[in-house]
């Protein structure tokens, strides 16, 4: 990678649109919280945890992911988890972050809904906004391996906290759990004024992307299998539906054998509104700066591609036009600073 491209990668204002806050739980913090909260972990060292980060597929990752979340018990735990992510993200140039949280992973074991949402949102405001100058949005995801009735119960719990929640999403085990199973709860969430996004087309088929669009989503999370359906690609391009692609996680979960075979470059060339994100960086080998650098290098992307990916993310962000314009100006300043 030449020096100009490397400088551009460091300088562009990064906008993260696909980030699971529970997926930023680094082994050091996990073990610390386990000790503080009296939670027994099968791991006794950071090295043991890192050796477990070898996944065969999405489900094998989720099994460990949900096991690790057991250490999160209090509002302060969620605050510290989010605070740690924000510090890392800021060092990698993130200027705006849209953070997923999975309340059902916690309320199912007795953690109050309010503690989850308040802990995360307090850090986004006090640390992200006030200390680091980062804007943010909080997206509450429904777990698709659970029922729609359980999703409705979670939406009901959220109603008292809507000033803190900006959107709803759909995550967890994709295969066998189509988006259409959640049509009614997504419609109810949209009536409350919440944005809608959904994971689709990572391990699941292109049909799941079509179903997610029927839910009224503003973005597709992942969506890498869209290239298997030409009519779908045309629809996504025509309507400028953003796709929040996570190359490092796609490789770690065996969606692609390695980064050189990832289809992000082809998606860009087709005119799709693709973006680069880190997904669950504590599990998949890097935060957004690392994801950008490794993807650009593996796919031999150009400076123009980096600019386009950043422009796409700014366009796709849940921000008002004032903040969007600020991010555009920051991108222009970064380009001028490195001479491209």
List, for residues 159-175, the tens digit of each pLDDT value. Answer: 999 999 999 999 999 99
Does 61 have pLDDT greater than 90? no
Instruction: Please give the C-alpha separations between residue 237 and each of 134, 181, 233, 295, 312, in angstroms, as whole numbers.
Output: 30, 26, 6, 22, 12
Tokens 């959640």 belong to which residue?
A: 182
Of 49-63, 66-80, 150-164, least confident by mean pLDDT is 49-63
Does 1 have pLDDT greater than 90? no
**What number is the average pLDDT over the span 279-296?**
96
Structural domain including 330 reads: 3-338
The separation between the first and the last C-alpha atoms of the chain, rounded to the nearest angstrom, is 15
Q: CA-CA distance, 187 to 133, in Å (whole number)?
A: 33
pLDDT-derived band at 62, boundaries 50, 70, 90: confident
Token representation of residue 252: 């770690």
pLDDT-derived band at 56, boundaries 50, 70, 90: confident
Given phi > 0 = left and psi -120 to 50 = alpha, else beta, which region is 55?
A: beta
pLDDT-derived band at 44, boundaries 50, 70, 90: confident
Q: CA-CA distance, 193 to 218, in Å (whole number)?
A: 13
Tokens 């409350």 belong to which residue?
A: 192
Distant-in-sequence, close-in-space partners of 70: CB < 8 Å, separation ≥ 6: 39, 109
Q: Containing H/E element for 328?
A: helix 321-338
C-alpha R_g of the chain? 19
Instruction: Please give the C-alpha separations between residue 208 and each of 24, 45, 84, 245, in angstroms, as whole numbers.
Output: 27, 39, 34, 16
Tokens 């990064």 belong to which residue?
A: 14
Tens digit of each residue's pLDDT (9 = 90 or more) over 233-281: 999 999 999 999 999 999 999 999 999 999 999 999 999 999 999 999 9
Q: Among 282, 280, 338, 281, which Cα is nearest to 310's? A: 338
Token representation of residue 198: 């959904």
Q: CA-CA distance, 48 to 29, in Å (whole number)?
A: 14
DSSP designation for 201: S
Of 42-46, 169-173, 183-187, least confident by mean pLDDT is 42-46
Looking only at the bridges linking them, the beta strands covering 135-143 and 94-101 are parallel
The pLDDT of residue 54:
85
Q: CA-CA distance, 210 to 231, in Å (whole number)?
A: 10
Partners of 20 in the beta sheet? 100
Q: CA-CA distance, 174 to 250, in Å (whole number)?
A: 14
Q: Are 295 and 274 within 8 A, CB to CB?
A: no
CATH number at residue 304: 3.20.20.140
The angle, 0 to 180 degrees and rounded to 10, between the axes of the packed helices 3-11 and 288-299 is 150
Number of domains in the chain: 1
Q: Containing H/E element for 30?
A: helix 27-37
**What number is the average pLDDT over the span 59-71?**
90
Which of these is catalytic: 83, 174, 202, 330?
202
Tens digit of each residue's pLDDT (9 = 90 or more) over 117-172: 999 999 999 999 999 999 999 999 999 999 999 999 999 999 999 999 999 999 99
Of 41-45, 185-189, 208-212, 323-327, least confident by mean pLDDT is 41-45
With 0-12 CB in 10 A as exposed, 13-18 as middle and 19+ as buried, what is 3?
Answer: exposed
> Quick check: is 321 catalytic?
no
The pLDDT of residue 340:
82
């Amino acid at each position: 990678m030449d020096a100009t491209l490397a400088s551009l990668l460091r300088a562009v204002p990064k906008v993260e649109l696909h980030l699971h806050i529970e997926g930023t739980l680094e082994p050091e913090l996990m073990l610390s919280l386990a000790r503080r909260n009296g939670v027994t972990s099968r791991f006794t060292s950071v090295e043991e945890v890192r050796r477990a980060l070898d996944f065969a597929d999405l489900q094998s990752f989720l099994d460990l992911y949900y096991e690790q979340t057991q250490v999160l018990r209090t509002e302060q735990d969620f605050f510290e988890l989010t605070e740690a992510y924000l510090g890392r993200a800021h060092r990698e140039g993130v200027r705006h972050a849209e953070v997923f949280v999975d309340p059902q992973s916690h309320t199912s074991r007795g953690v109050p809904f309010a503690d989850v949402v308040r802990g995360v949102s307090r850090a986004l405001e006090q640390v992200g906004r006030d200390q680091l100058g980062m804007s943010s949005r909080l997206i509450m995801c429904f777990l698709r391996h659970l029922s729609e009735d359980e999703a409705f119960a979670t939406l009901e719990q959220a109603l008292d906290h809507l000033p803190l929640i900006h959107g709803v999403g759909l995550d967890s085990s994709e295969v066998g759990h189509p988006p259409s199973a959640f049509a009614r709860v997504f419609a109810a969430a949209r009536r409350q004024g919440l944005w809608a996004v959904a994971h689709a087309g990572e391990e699941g088929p292109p049909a799941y992307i079509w179903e997610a669009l029927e839910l009224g989503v503003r973005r597709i999370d992942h969506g890498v299998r869209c290239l298997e359906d030409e009519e779908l690609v045309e629809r996504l391009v025509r309507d400028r539906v953003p796709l929040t692609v996570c190359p490092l996680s796609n490789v770690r979960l065996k969606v692609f054998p390695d980064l050189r075979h990832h289809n992000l470059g082809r998606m860009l060339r087709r005119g799709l509104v693709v973006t680069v994100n880190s997904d669950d960086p504590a599990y998949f080998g890097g935060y957004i700066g690392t994801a950008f650098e490794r993807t650009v290098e593996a796919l031999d992307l150009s400076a123009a591609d980096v600019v386009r990916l950043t422009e796409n993310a700014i366009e796709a962000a849940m921000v008002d036009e004032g903040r969007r314009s600020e991010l555009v100006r920051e991108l222009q300043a970064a380009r001028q600073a490195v001479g491209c």
